[in-house]
Amino acid sequence: QKLLTSPPPEAKDSPDAVLFRQLTSFSGPLLGTLRSAALPAAANPPEATKPSPAVPAFGLDPALFGKHPNGSPVDAASLCVKAPSIITFTLPADIVAGSELVTTGVLDPLTGAEGSVQLDVVVGKPMRGAGLLPSEAKVTIAGGRWTDDNRRMAYTTPIIATENSAARKRIEAAFDEYRNLFPAALCYTKIVPVDEVVTLTLFYREDEHLVRLMLDDDQKAQLDRLWDELHYISQDAVTLVDAFIQLMEYATQDADPKVFEPLRKPINDRAAAFRKRLIDDEPKQLDALIAFAPKVYRRPLSTAESQELRNLYAVFRKDEMPHEEAFRLLLARMLVAPSFLYRIEKRVPGEKQGPVSDNELASRLSYFLWSSQPDEALLKAAAAGELRDTKNLLAQSRRMLSDAKTRRLATEFACQWLHIHDFDHLDEKSDRHFPTFVSLRGAMYEESIQFFTDLFQNNGSVLNILDANYTFLNEDLAKHYDIPGVKGPEWRRVEDVKKFSRGGILGQATTLTKQSGASRTSPILRGNWISEVLLGERLPRPPKGVPQLPEDEATETLTVRQLTEKHVNDPKCSVCHRRIDPFGYSLEGFDAIGRHREKDLGNRLIDTHATVFDGSEITGIEGLRSYLLTVRREAFLRQFCKKLLGYSLGRAVQLSDEPLLTDMQTVLKNNDYKVVSAIEAIIQSRQFREIRGRERAMEE
């Protein structure tokens, strides 16, 4: 009793351990008797073995053994079923605890010769489903026989197939096809870390599956070309020689290096072939660099220029300079040449002006609309002489304006004209007064850029620069403007924004912020900006010694407007201030970072009513916008045309350009003020398509 109620003896070969195993054996004197008592009807027919609620049945019905599903007899100790089939049986838990359930399954040699089956043993109710049962471990195909026990059931579900049968070959082929979907590196766990120094796996290409499954022929060719280029950068064939030498040094310390010796010759041969290839490719690389020069110079090279570059390379090599270094120096020489740094144009002979060359015209057009060199399509048109035809020239300009590169016209022309270029780097605002400005300045700048990009790409009206009832916002900037309904970081066009005191450049945070102080607004700066930048009025510079207004409006007893009006009483200042300050007063409804406001930082009410120099009354941004669009429309249009013309020609507008400015304004009026009409008027003009004669230029 003491032996049976105690844990098994630790010494397995001791008399107590032997007796314990005999007594506790499933067929021993104790449990054997219990088994016989628990299975009293094991030999009875199936009808007599049906369990009753009071007496549970254990094991399998003997009547299931010894017969084939088709009625023919089989071995009496075998149970034969037709798949799919579920066999359920019960075992007493107390008896089988700590034991193993071992079962063997085979295919019938006649009816199952070309079949396949999975056998699965589970505790509880089995899961039904179509297809193969998944495995957590490697699936194995046994040679027509399967064995499993309850310790392995959770890990693998083998497939039984007859040796050399068609079914087995089909399954093996399917597994091979499935495994081929994955690189080998994904199928095996890394056991030994790879030493990046002592390894021969450097620069190993393993994209076979990507190429086979994902890429078309053109993409395959591009990938091969990129790999080929990588050889020049990685120098892998040469690097592998060094890696092999180090590997051999390590191997000689504690192993026989003979196993690596067969690798020496192939590695050295590849390195020698690669070094020869480098030498053979030097002339090709030089040719490619010379062929690149026309793109750098934005025009074809003359024979003399091409030879000069080759001669310079020869001089470098004559001084025993390596090819790569000589190549770099020659490229540097091209990038510091005047033809790259400057847009040099060849003047026509004589005193009279004449047409620029086709390539020079293409360059003028590209730098006007894209602020960059011509693309392939424009260069091709220039080479074919098509740009001399006005129709083709305008067609190219329309193509270019529809391109995303038109954004550069917005940034380089419009933003510079309005003095907001590089606004996203502005750092002149007080963090204490305006802590949100730094996080918003990029969005403010993007609004202006997208506004003008849309204007040029979609041929908007020049008057929309002042009068647009739309703008471009994301959620952050919309919150800054108190405009509801804009969610997410995506940029979008938002209509009907005048009711929020927005629309056009007068309501954009960039212009309002740039023409303000660090911690307060500035009616003087804003008014001067409108007068000089938008209307083109030339005002004298302020005299020296003019007293500065206080910087912090929150600490003053007077509003910024009142302080400005007091300042203007000085006779030396009043003449100019009476022209510019009223414009600034009308924009006092916006703070120093462009937010709409009713009161200033000192909690004083804002007054936006003003009387301008000609006696007109205006109130707020709406009044200012209306005044500029009606009374001062011609001045605004002329200033726009003047700035656009000067930008397109890369020089200041001269007296001789006055007829063209007049034509541009007329064209705008006749075309509903569409901006492309002004651009095309410039492109068709003699100023844009011609150049002054050499003798005339020398006289000047």
Predicted confidence at residue 386, as pLDDT, reads 96
- In whole angstroms, what is the distance from residue 485 CA to residue 695 CA? 64
Predicted confidence at residue 199, as pLDDT, reads 67
Quick check: 147 pLDDT over 60? no
Predicted confidence at residue 201, as pLDDT, reads 66
Predicted confidence at residue 43, as pLDDT, reads 43
pLDDT in tens, 5-27: 888 888 878 888 888 887 877 66
- In whole angstroms, what is the distance from residue 677 CA to residue 664 CA? 8
Predicted confidence at residue 49, as pLDDT, reads 43
Quick check: 343 pLDDT over 80? yes
Predicted confidence at residue 59, as pLDDT, reads 82
pLDDT in tens, 31-78: 666 655 555 444 444 444 444 444 446 788 888 899 999 989 998 889
pLDDT in tens, 477-521: 999 999 999 999 999 999 999 999 999 999 999 999 999 999 999
Among 26-35, 203-212, 440-449, the minimum mean pLDDT is found in 26-35
Q: Do 30 and 22 form a contact (C-beta atoms < 8 A)?
A: no
Quick check: 308 pLDDT over 90? yes
User: Which one is predicted more confidently, 14 or 386?
Assistant: 386
Q: What is the mean pLDDT of the chain?
A: 86
- Give the torsion through C-alpha atoms of 289, 290, 291, 294, to 10 deg: 110
673: left (phi over 0), alpha (psi -120 to 50) or beta: left
Predicted confidence at residue 36, as pLDDT, reads 56
- CA 545 to mean position of chain CA atoms: 54
Mean pLDDT of the region 616-626: 96
Quick check: 378 pLDDT over 80? yes
* DSSP assignments along 172-218, one per residue: HHHHHHHHTTS-HHHHS---SPPPSSS-S-TT----HHHHHHH--HH
User: Which of 87-96, 425-434, 467-476 tops mean pLDDT?
Assistant: 467-476
Longest dimension (CA), the chain: 130
- In whole angstroms, what is the distance from residue 432 CA to residue 616 CA? 38
* Side chain identity at residue 39, one-letter code: L
Percentage above 70 pLDDT, the chain: 85
* Side chain identity at residue 208, one-letter code: E
Mean pLDDT of the region 184-206: 65
Quick check: 197 pLDDT over 70? no
Quick check: 444 pLDDT over 60? yes
For 446, the token pair is 């993007």
**Count of all residues that appear for the chain in the document:** 700
For 377, the token pair is 């399509």
Predicted confidence at residue 494, as pLDDT, reads 97
Helix (H) or strand (E) holding 564: helix 560-568
* Side chain identity at residue 426, one-letter code: L
Q: Characterize the bridge pairing of strands 354-355 and 141-143.
A: unpaired
Predicted confidence at residue 489, as pLDDT, reads 96
pLDDT in tens, 206-225: 788 889 889 999 999 999 99
Mean pLDDT of the region 359-382: 95
Quick check: 152 pLDDT over 50? no
- Give the torsion through C-alpha atoms of 549, 550, 551, 553, to 10 deg: -110
pLDDT in tens, 136-146: 544 344 443 44
Residue 526's nearest CA partner among 617, 418, 622 is 418
Predicted confidence at residue 47, as pLDDT, reads 46
Predicted confidence at residue 55, as pLDDT, reads 43
